[in-house]
Structure 1
């Protein structure tokens, strides 16, 4: 879908694994009753929202309706009504081009003073063409001055005998009479001033045709059409995108009241969102979610924000917050053809509000369990220079305490047992126009965070203190785009708690990344009937990582890439997109290709049928490639050595994860009152990187010096572990159906459904526990309303079917894999707000409103916290 295929938020928790010997039949009546109560609560909540009358529906859709109506009326020379429609569109969703068209329509109608006022408002937004528009204003001012001068009465002179005037010449038969001179032009010599020749009084209409010659053509492009940039690295409609793309809009963000970015993504069809602790959210797409999830590429304004040590994204450690986000583009499907490694299952590109756009302001919130949120921002433009400066603080509690205060048998990390995540941040982005279609942007961000996260394998409750910093410079022009940035991560990590005599595994993860990209863009015809949108680019990435969990002699990694894309428009209805990229991965010491091909057929201007196929890969992370960590087992004095090298061998056996995908979709935006999309896909996933099954030390290994007593730890190495490529092949069949409806002004309803079915293909003789961690069925639905009196809000509903997880846990002398079943869960979130004084707003949100209505605690991972209900109130003010 192209709007937001949305839903809501949820939580997580620590729930004991279900015992397969439990009597499932005895639990069914109670669960049915709980489900009935939940559905009743959902119906009541939805009914309350949909009962609102006289509200304003989706801002973008409403503004588009008024904009189109206004432009049609102006084209028919019905200026007054057309201007009123454009003004209504601009009230709903302001846009400089709408203001320009209002000014131009006033000028064409002869309303010179009103046109000047609108043009000056347009210039005040510092548009790129302000010099040309300033010249239009000067010409209109001269014309207005001439009109006013002509309207001043002449001083009275002594009466003089009127000269004899010849009788007016009658036109010959069939000849039209001569037209009067244009307004403001001097009368013919000797001719008396008449109503036809006098200039109009101030505020009255001037000659329409005269002003129209000054102001030129109107801007008829649909300024409210959604555009995406992530799928093709250039602005385009979702109808033209080579991948299925969803946009979480600014309105979705504001009306949801959500402050966690992953929870905003839950509303997207096919997204897997999992909260484990108060500071740990993991996101994947179309399956394969996990602790330290690493299957999607997360970008902020095109800059990757993943940590290279673990390959995951620390969402609560970003230097931006939701109040700085313009929109979130989600590409549903692999993107390695343009973005290389790690765009395995999809891409999330967080696009922030541009420097100089919008007003300055602040928002603050506080909730139960000491939740806290604060954000302040300043945005301004001065000529060609603009900036946006933001700062903020966030605090989220744990959903449940891991360690009681009276435990004397445990050693703790020292981090508060009530803290899930805490973030202090500052971010500055600036832009400088260098001329038409040329801009330089410079920015920097810094955040310092404390997080409670879950690692992999036996590393569950884990504390991380981390500082993130970045500096980015980008140049954009009509044909050349360039970007370079530096990012740094510096942290301190250790287990939250361990039994006395056991280690907390303290460590210091660090990373330094320098990234540079150069792209050439050109539109051309070859042959003349085919329009090519051509992109070619080069990339370089320098990565340096270190951690006490990794090998001491880790190398600097120099990664290189080249990509090419050609979007060929064959007439008005068919577009063929061919993309491809080559990445050099130094760990693998080879080039990896990632092709993609798409065919887009548009039966009408606002319908699209898309067929696409692509491949993608995920390269091993620093941890997977260079791990060297002794893990203490439950039995005192024993340890497992987790290493990427097979004992006695120097070879590194891990290959990149691979995915081959085929997708077919249909997107319909034909109506201004609804839109919908249906998508079907097939993914073939192989070489998944997983924790290797531990191998006990053999006599042969002991003879070669492997295993035995580790003098550094004082423990006996009883086995070896690490990472390996899973031999299973997964065949994933799925589909997504979603839509958004605007039945009347005042109501915006969205819903989507995702189906995901995975078939394991195992090699002969391999017997492994089933791992069905992806819910087969997911449902999202929601209602948004805004009312003329300033009351607005949203209710969102989410359902996710049951899961079965296979996780590794330490036992007495080894680490073993066990199965854990998670039941289905539902999640209901709501927000209501009231705007007043045109600047202020108060609002309240509830997360997991259904908590306590059912018998099962909401839990999103078998080791995660149990998710409860949370309330939070906010106050915001714009300057």
Structure 2
């Protein structure tokens, strides 16, 4: 824990800094207009400031709406499976873990996932329930993937990176589409998106999606054979209140029922229900672009297993305020403040209510030093208070689980971007990010017929420091872009959950399962990739990713705490190759991925020992054929895992080949 004065002076500091700003005007981000102007995607995910993708001071990949369409995917993890540096582990039809640059594991807590800037990552257990994200694929403009720590803008848990799903603007983009699919494993999927507009005044988008199928075939610990299904409905509206003033209002509901592979190495049937309401007010003023965001997420989790019967409700309330202001032509500042309150409630799982409140302040400075050189620095300080309401849970001979915790943690991001030539861009970046223990890590407490499983209020956050060099080179003769990244990072005090930390012996000799910190971990790695397309309709991509992870924790400790054995779980090598061709009404696309072996983990239900399981290297290949019946209607056939009927990609169920046929209508 880092100790220095509390953040009581943040509001005063913020006011004084804002008062010194000279009048400046900054436009709100209009993706369509900027993309048309610059000929490439634009984003504000890296710094909070609108930028061309080629100018951001971070390593970022953008998956476009066309990429999603040509993939044929019906879920987000399948879209991300062919992005260099990402590791996607499908434990089930509705259960996938997504990692960035190694450190992936079941219920991965290290990647922060957002939908239009609103957090959909769940802090209760520390995971992203991908099918619970209330978005239809047809409503997505682009998916922005920031590789590397990004806590200075987003706060805790953006330690491996950030995935921000950006939807179309209902005020400016009139999206009307519908899609239905059916296929192997009794798969049925459908989505619909409709937008109504009063041009220049308001736009409202309604979207819905639903999925149902049978599960992957095979035997695995805890697998009940439950039929996975999910669905969501979302309403997004944007109103132009006055010139330069916009108000966004959004709400959603969704649910998922499926087996989930949890960090004891076993499946358990889980039901998730979620609803959210968010508001954003933005105004272009003489003092810059002012934004006020507020949202509330309610997540309900129910373990439907008879033995454990865990269930709880998580309520998250977030209020964010920011001001993006320019000083002259070469300096831009973004000042921001955030309040977050996160509470999980359950008599069975938490002996009442456990939660934390966060007050944070941040500052970003973007300096255009020369015409071809810019420097961006961002710093954030988070003040965290953890507390519990309810009865104390006593550990035999070791005292109570619950006590109040106060933490102050800083984070930073720094990046220099040098445009060496019209074709070459070099980035140098450094960052520090912090992973906060989840509410389960802090305060879960159960006694299962004499076996105690408990959180640990004394857990320390885990910090990640990252240093990186990137090179982008445009190859106009080939219509291609070559990208190279090399990075080194170190993680301190890894966090193990109550279920994934192995047995701890209390002072009185009693064995318990309790959350705890482990040793440090380091990694060096990088990616090299090239992607291009020709005017004749040919498109292609090739990439290689390297992740060399080394854990400092002794092997004897990691044997019983396999979920934090990152060295074993990270694939050292991965290669992605793809090609596609469009001719008249026909689209034909192929993507393939080879990945080196890993060691996942699985519990032996007879001995109750969690042990490593080797997952051999594998190749998986997807092929999609699309045919435009009319300008608005497209028929498609997707074959997932064409090369193999059944494939082990995790220690859980094997992934089965799928045939999926669909019809898509767009207006």
TM-score, scaled relative to structure 1: 0.66
For residue 630 of structure 2, the aligned residue among 807, 828, 837 is 837
Q: Is the 8 A contact 1:308 1:545 kept in 2?
A: no
How has the CA–CA distance of structure 1 residues 418 and 521 changed in structure 2, closer, same or farther, with 3 Å as cutoff?
same
1:265 maps to which of 80, 90, 94: 80
Match of 1:480 among 290, 314, 317: 290
Question: Which residue is equivalent to 1:723?
Answer: 515
Q: How does 1:138-149 map to 2 (within 5 A)?
A: none
Residue 822 (structure 1) aligned with residue 615 (structure 2): yes
In the alignment, what sits opposite 1:286?
Answer: 101
Against the structure 1 CA distance between its residues 631 and 270, is the aligned structure 2 distance closer, same or farther, given a 3 Å change threshold? farther
User: Closer, same or farther in 2 for the Cα pair 1:644/1:369, shift >3 Å?
Assistant: closer
Q: Bigger shift: 548-557 or 437-446?
A: 548-557
Q: What is the CA–CA distance in structure 2 between the aligned matches of 1:552 and 1:762, rounded to whole Å?
A: 32
1:642 is aligned to 453
Matches within 5 A, 1:524-535: 524-525=327-328, 531-535=330-334
Q: How far is 1:332 from its partner?
A: 0.6
2:309 pairs, out of 502, 506, 514, with 506
Partner of 2:49: 234
* SS of aligned partner of 1:254: helix
**Which consecutive unaligned segments of at least 5 residues does structure 1 have?**
1-94, 98-218, 404-409, 496-502, 633-638, 646-651, 702-717
Instruction: State the distance in 1 between where 2:550 and 2:301 align.
Output: 39
Other-structure match for 2:590: 795
For 1:441, the equivalent position in structure 2 comes to 248
Aligned-residue CA RMSD (Å):
2.4
Matches within 5 A, 1:176-325: 222-325=37-140
C-alpha spacing 1:447/1:768, structure 2 compared with 1 (3 Å): closer
The count of residues paired between Structure 1 and Structure 2 equals: 603
Q: Does 1:682 align with 2:488?
A: yes
Structure 1 or 2: larger strand share? 2
Q: 1:548 to 1:263 in 2, by over 3 A?
A: farther
Output the TM-score relative to the length of structure 2. 0.86
Residue 838 (structure 1) shift = 1.2
- Structure ID, larger Rg: 1
* Relative contact order higher in (CA < 8 Å, ≥ 6 apart): 1
Output aligned runs, 1:445-464, within 5 Å.
445-457=252-264, 460-464=266-270
1:743 to 1:376, Cα distance in 2 relative to 1, 3 A: closer
Instruction: Kindly state the Cα deviation for residue 866 of structure 1 after the two structures are TM-superposed.
Output: 0.9
In 2, the alpha carbon distance for the partners of 1:355 and 1:329 equals: 19
SS in 1 for 2:217: coil
Aligned pair 1:560/2:377, yes or no?
no
Tell whether the 8 Å contact from 1:630 to 1:640 is kept in structure 2 after alignment: yes
Distance change in 2, residues 1:626/1:96 (3 Å): closer
Moved more, 598-607 or 570-579: 598-607
Match of 1:362 among 155, 178, 191: 178
Work out the CA distance in 1 between the residues paired with 2:347 and 2:259: 19
Q: Unmatched 5+ residue regions in structure 2? A: 1-30, 387-404, 560-564
Match of 1:872 in 2: 660
Deviations 1:391-437 (A, max 9, x none): 2211132102559xxxxxx9x99x7x251x21122111011112333
> Which residue number corresponds to residue 503 of structure 2?
694
1:697: how far off?
6.0
Query: For the Cα contact (< 8 Å) 1:804–1:820, is it kept in 2?
Result: yes
SS of 1:397's partner is: coil
Alpha-carbon distance change, 96 to 492 in structure 1, aligned in 2, over 3 angstroms? closer
Q: For the residues of structure 2 that align with 1:450 and 1:561, how far apart are their CA atoms?
A: 35
Describe the SS at the equivalent of 1:222.
Answer: helix
* Counterpart mapping for 1:394-433 below 5 A: 394-400=211-217, 402=219, 417=225, 419=227, 421-433=228-240
In structure 1, C-alpha distance between the alignment counterparts of 2:491 and 2:40, rounded to whole Å = 35
* Alignment partners' CA distance in 1, 2:441 and 2:588: 45
Change beyond 3 A, Cα 1:805–1:873: closer
Q: How does 1:851-862 map to 2 (within 5 A)?
A: 851-852=644-645, 857-862=646-651
Contact 1:457 / 1:809 at 8 angstroms: preserved in 2? no
**What is the CA deviation profile of residues 573-626 of structure 1, one whole-angstrom value per residue up to 9, with x for unaligned ones?**
111111100111213402100012111111134531000111111101011110
Specify the SS of the correspondent of 1:369: coil
Q: CA deviation at 1:361?
A: 2.7
Separation of aligned partners in 1, 2:421 and 2:243? 33
Match of 1:391 among 208, 221, 234: 208
Residue number in structure 2 paired with 1:594:
411
Cα distance change, pair 837–744 in 1 and its aligned pair in 2 (3 A): closer
- Residue 11 of structure 2 is matched in structure 1 by none
Deviation of 1:454 after TM superposition, in Å, equals: 1.1
SS of 2:66 mapped into structure 1: helix
Counterpart for residue 462 of structure 2: 657
Tell me the distance in 2 between the aligned counterparts of 1:738 and 1:640: 50
Preserved contact between residue 518 and residue 553 of structure 2 (Cα < 8 Å): no
- By percentage of residues, which structure has more helix? 1
- The 2-side partners of 1:397 and 1:391 are apart by 21
Q: Give me the whole-angstrom Cα distance separating, in 2, the residues matched to 1:623 and 1:675.
A: 43
Tell me the distance in 1 between the aligned counterparts of 2:189 and 2:35.
Answer: 42
Give the alignment partner of residue 526 of structure 2, picking from 735, 747, 756.
735
